[in-house]
């Protein structure tokens, strides 16, 4: 047991997140997502809703601050965001201008290039989110000047 680490981030998941570098992408996927077809490492978090997993991941993974969206949702049919998608955006704590949506098959294509897929127990459709990891900067994290 570690102090200061969210309890969802245990063992394999914590190690997989630690191996991600700046610009690497990870997918937090619902239970219906074809996670093992993507080719990336898959870590299972059964029984957990995807927004809770995103919230835990964001305690240790900063978002990429470079241009473009650092959070991508799988666009729901009909064009309106579903409740689970609003929860995912809130859990990601991303500014609105850093969040975008991709059509379902474009999302699958982008997810196939991700370094990690975290498959949750989320049963609501479109409970999928892609995050691009930012830089972990000791000077920012500690408030120290360079």
Residues with catalytic roles: 22
CB 132 within 8 A of CB 23: yes
DSSP-derived pairing of the beta strands 71-74 and 129-132:
antiparallel
Classify burial at 140, counting beta carbons within 10 Å of its beta carbon; exposed 0-12, middle 13-18, buried 19 or more.
exposed
Distances from the Cα of 12 to the Cαs of 45, 116, 145, in angstroms?
10, 11, 34
d(CA 91, CA 68): 19
Q: Which of 94, 86, 97 is nearest to 126 (CA)?
A: 86
CB 28 within 8 A of CB 104: no
């Amino acid at each position: 047991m570690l102090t200061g680490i969210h309890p969802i981030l245990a063992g394999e998941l914590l190690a997989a997140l630690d191996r991600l570098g700046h610009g690497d992408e990870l997918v937090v996927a619902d239970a219906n997502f074809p996670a093992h077809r993507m080719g990336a490492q898959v870590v299972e978090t059964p029984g957990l809703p995807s927004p809770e997993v995103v919230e835990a991941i964001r305690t240790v993974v900063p978002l990429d601050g470079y241009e473009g969206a650092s959070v991508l949702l799988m666009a729901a049919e009909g064009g309106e965001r579903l409740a689970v998608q609003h929860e995912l955006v809130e859990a990601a704590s991303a500014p609105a201008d850093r969040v975008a949506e991709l059509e379902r098959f474009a999302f699958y294509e982008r997810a196939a290039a991700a370094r990690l897929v975290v498959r949750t127990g989320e049963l609501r459709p479109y409970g999928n989110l892609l995050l691009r990891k930012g830089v972990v900067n000791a000077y920012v994290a500690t408030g120290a000047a360079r």
